[in-house]
Chains A and B, each alone.
Chain A
Amino acid sequence: MAEKNTDPDAAALSQAEIDAEIAAIHGEYRAQRDAGGQVETNARLNFAPYRSSLLRHPTKSLHHADPEDIELYSPAFGHRDVSPLEADLTIQHNGEPIGERIIVTGRVVDGDGRAVAGQLVEMWQANAAGRYMHKRDQHPAPLDPNFTGVGRTLTGPNGEYSFTTIKPAPYPWKNHNNAWRSAHIHFSLFGTDFTQRIVTQMYFPGDPIFDLDPIYQSITDQAARDRLVATYDHSVSQHEWNTGYRWDIVLSGSNRTWAEQEEER
């Protein structure tokens, strides 16, 4: 096999060639899983169809560490850090942003189902035309002077969060020729242990680009991929105001020894 072009912006391959690479990796994964092998629940670090990963994934196994002191805690965030207004991305400017107004809401829990309360959730996204408010985004789609696309909030006592925003559009990128990203919102979360730290992306149900998107497909298992897709929730939609999406987030397992009272909190 010819050596892969490691320039992440080369856009050298066709969608069909990328699709074939994805299909081969997924096929191999399903075969080993169905033969009793490991079920993959996370994205792969080494996933060649996502060209930017070629020179940026570890080539050696991760080294097992038993978490110590600092790793069993997370930084604390409070209302000094985050204003409640930061959860509404539609009120950050003088006018209304253009696009479909949505509420994205859900709960953050850890791997044992405990609510992650009072922790920081950050999110950022493209606007309704698929353009980021970032100087490196040169996609010739309009910027919206009334939409920055950055939000923050603290989770409530039951781990709940809610953002009011505009539905982002898909956008092109240079991974391969005619490459498009599924519409998504970036999320960044903290847990009770720093080892639960995660940055991920939330997707919208029924996106026609899912199968073509090597970032989404870097998760080899369909059940795991589905966990990044929000569901439309009509109870979150509001009369003549917004449509609603629900997306619950499960952090990895805490390695703390939990006291009973904390468990019940």
Chain B
Amino acid sequence: MKLTPTPAQTVGPFFGYALPYAGGEALVDRSHPGAVRLHGTVYDGDGVPVPDALLEIWQPDEHGVISQQPGSLLRDGYTFTGWGRAAVDGVGHFSFTTVEPGSTGDGVAPYFLVTVFARGLMDRLFTRAYLPGDPATLEQDPLLSSVPADRRQTLITTRESDGSLRFDIHFQGADETVFLNYPNTPQFTGPVD
């Protein structure tokens, strides 16, 4: 990198009238034959739901193809753009309607890239929400296998009885979600455990 990136600042408490938009949480219509619900709750360090968080997901389609089609902000109901945005409700719950991402290559475990913003959070946090699926594939995934076994589960969605995928996010605590940092992407936690 030649230039120093501009620092981040919190999304604050007052993004609700600016960033969420109608249809943001629906990457596909509920009537789509492959439609699945990806949902969960965002929790703070006291285990209390966070009522002012915003999530974005970014994913390939069910065949593993990465969409480069515009139209995420004004969906036409037919074009899969791969990106969605949803604010949590008053009890910290978010919900997307989408399709399960396909694998982008041999042996690559499919996942949703999840980005979290919140009041109190100075910079966005990235994580991956893997599909439950075949344990052998998950074990071989380069990222999952690099995460200590006792924290790996925080990156894997849970299949619910109605077919929905559950992905809770914990900023802190025993189930603290594994948040990711990428090359050329400076982030500073401040003091950690």
In Å, the complex CA distance between A77 and B68 comes to: 9
Does B69 sit at the interface, judged by CB under 8 A? yes
Residue among B67, B177, B192 with max Cβ neighbours from chain A (10 Å):
B192
- The answer to the question of B190 belonging to the interface, with a C-beta cut-off of 8 Å to chain A, is yes
Q: Are A196 and B18 in contact (CB under 8 A)?
A: no
Instruction: Find chain A residues with CB under 8 A from B9 CB.
Output: 43, 184, 186, 199-201, 215-216, 218, 228
Q: Is A249 an interface residue (CB 8 A)?
A: yes
B7 & A195 in contact (Cβ 8 Å cutoff): no
- Chain B neighbourhood of A198, CB < 8 A: 5-6, 8, 123-124
Judging by beta carbons under 8 Å apart, are A56 and B179 in contact? no
Whether A150 pairs with B18 at a CB distance below 8 angstroms is yes
Q: Select B6's contact among A133, A186, A249, beta carbons within 8 Å.
A: A249
Instruction: Tally chain A residues at the interface, Cβ within 8 Å.
Output: 87
Say which residue of B45, B66, B185 sits within 8 Å of A73 (CB atoms).
B66
Contact B182 A109 (CB under 8 A): no
Interface contact B124-A134, CB-CB below 8 Å: no
User: Would A228 and B6 count as touching, CB distance under 8 A?
Assistant: yes
- Tell me the complex Cα distance, A44–B2, Å: 22
Cross-chain contact A113 with B181 (CB below 8 angstroms): no
* Interfacial residues of chain A within 100-156, with CB under 8 A of chain B in the complex: 109-113, 120, 122, 124, 126, 132-137, 148-150, 152
- Residue-by-residue, is A237-254 near B (CB-CB < 8 Å gives 1, otherwise 0)? 000000000000111111
* Of B5, B19, B122, the contact of A50 (CB 8 Å cutoff): B122
Knowing A76-B69, A111-B3, say if A45 contacts B17 (CB, 8 Å): no
Residue B77 is within 8 A (CB to CB) of chain A in the complex: no
Q: Mark B112-140, 1 if CB is under 8 A from A, else 0.
A: 01010111111111101000000000000
B91 close to chain A: CB less than 8 A: no
CB distance from B123 to the nearest CB of A (A): 6
Q: Measured between C-beta atoms, what is the minimum distance from B156 to chain A in Å?
A: 14
- List residues 138-193 of chain B with CB under 8 A from any CB of chain A: 142-143, 146-147, 171-172, 176-193
Give Cα A71 to B181, complex, Å. Answer: 12
A58 touches B183 (CB 8 A): no
Q: Known: A50-B122, A71-B182, A228-B7. Contact between A62 and B19, CB under 8 A?
A: no
Tell me the smallest distance from the CB of A161 to a CB of chain B, in Å: 13
Query: Does B59 have its Cβ within 8 Å of any Cβ on chain A?
Result: yes
Residues on A close to B: CB < 8 A?
A: 6, 8, 40-47, 50, 52-71, 73-82, 109-113, 120, 122, 124, 126, 132-137, 148-150, 152, 184, 186, 188, 194-201, 215-216, 218-220, 224-225, 227-228, 249-255
**A-B complex: 8 closest residue pairs judged by Cβ atoms:** A253-B184, A52-B120, A78-B70, A46-B190, A124-B18, A75-B83, A62-B181, A56-B120
Q: With A43-B123, A50-B120, A56-B44 given, name 6 new contacts (CB 8 A).
A: A45-B122, A45-B125, A73-B66, A75-B67, A113-B3, A195-B126
Taking Cβ atoms with an 8 Å cutoff, the residues of B that contact A are: 1-19, 44-46, 48, 50, 56, 58-60, 66-74, 81-83, 101, 104-105, 108, 113, 115, 117-126, 128, 142-143, 146-147, 171-172, 176-193
- 9 example contacts (A-B, Cβ-Cβ < 8 A) are as follows A42-B186, A45-B122, A50-B10, A53-B122, A57-B120, A111-B2, A111-B4, A112-B2, A198-B124
